[in-house]
């Protein structure tokens, strides 16, 4: 991984030369703290969406939709639904990415179960819940991606697509989310679907704007 740094030309010249220098890598402590923040933000976002009766895209949306239609909570469903996607990640993204994503998957489930009871949001408006929940979740996903991890689910596919074909991860994720919403239309009322869509756009805008190919390497 290389970047161009400006350095002064010897001899006092005012011109600058472009040289290649290695990007500094994240330390283990950097990764651990970054993943903690990503999990905390994602757990808060999912909890807000769940309290609002909304869904979103990716593994979070799958777990929320399943929690509305079954007796199981989203915290328990995230690791279960993630299994096939984590197998895909292992085959396509490598062991490091997959191991981090496995840790995130279980930690996220624990985080949701911890955060959700502490949020007293019984009277929250769906519009506020959609924007806040989607934005929190999007920032969590972005933070995890910056440290070579993901929540799994279709997020792993979106990140692989960006690496393999340079297709923006946010756009790929949005395409996957559209298919999830088509399924959700059979279970949720139109108003909840509309607010869920707004929240999903808020989530994906984070990736579309700030997770562009080549912008960040560390």
What DSSP letter does each residue of 86-155 carry, written as one string? HHHHHHHT-HHHHHHHHHHHHHHHHHHHHHGGG---TT--HHHHHHHHHHHHHHHHHHHHHTT----HHH
Percent of residues, the chain, with pLDDT higher than 90: 49
Secondary structure letter of residue 10 according to DSSP:
T
pLDDT tens track for 52-97: 999 998 899 999 999 999 989 999 999 999 999 999 989 988 898 8
Q: What Cα–Cα distance (Å) separates residue 117 from each residue in 35, 105, 136, 205?
A: 22, 19, 17, 28
pLDDT higher for 16 or 209?
A: 209
The pLDDT, as a whole number, for residue 22 is: 59
**pLDDT surpassing 80 at residue 214:** no
Average pLDDT over residues 34-53: 94
The pLDDT, as a whole number, for residue 167 is: 87
The pLDDT, as a whole number, for residue 149 is: 81
Average pLDDT over residues 131-138: 95
The pLDDT, as a whole number, for residue 213 is: 64
pLDDT higher for 212 or 48?
A: 48
The pLDDT-based confidence of 189 (bands split at 50, 70, 90) is: very high
**pLDDT surpassing 80 at residue 131:** yes
């Amino acid at each position: 991984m290389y970047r161009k740094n400006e350095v002064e030309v010897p001899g006092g010249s005012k011109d600058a030369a472009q040289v290649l220098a290695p990007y500094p890598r994240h330390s283990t402590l950097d990764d651990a703290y970054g993943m903690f923040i990503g999990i905390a933000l994602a757990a808060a976002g999912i909890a807000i969406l769940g309290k609002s009766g909304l869904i979103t895209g990716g593994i979070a949306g799958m777990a929320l939709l399943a929690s509305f239609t079954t007796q199981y909570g989203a915290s328990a469903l995230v690791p279960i639904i993630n299994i096939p996607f984590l197998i895909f990640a292992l085959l396509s993204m490598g062991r490091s990415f997959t191991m981090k994503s496995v840790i995130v998957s279980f930690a996220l489930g624990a985080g949701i179960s911890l955060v959700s009871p502490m949020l007293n949001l019984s009277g929250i408006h769906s519009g506020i819940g959609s924007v806040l929940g989607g934005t929190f979740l999007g920032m969590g996903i972005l933070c995890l991606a910056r440290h070579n991890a993901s929540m799994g689910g279709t997020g792993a596919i979106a990140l692989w697509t960006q690496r393999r074909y340079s297709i923006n991860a946010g756009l790929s994720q949005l395409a996957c989310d559209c298919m999830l919403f088509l399924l959700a239309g059979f279970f949720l009322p139109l108003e909840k679907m509309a607010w869920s869509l707004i929240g999903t756009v808020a989530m994906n805008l984070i990736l579309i704007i700030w997770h562009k190919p080549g912008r960040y390497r560390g």
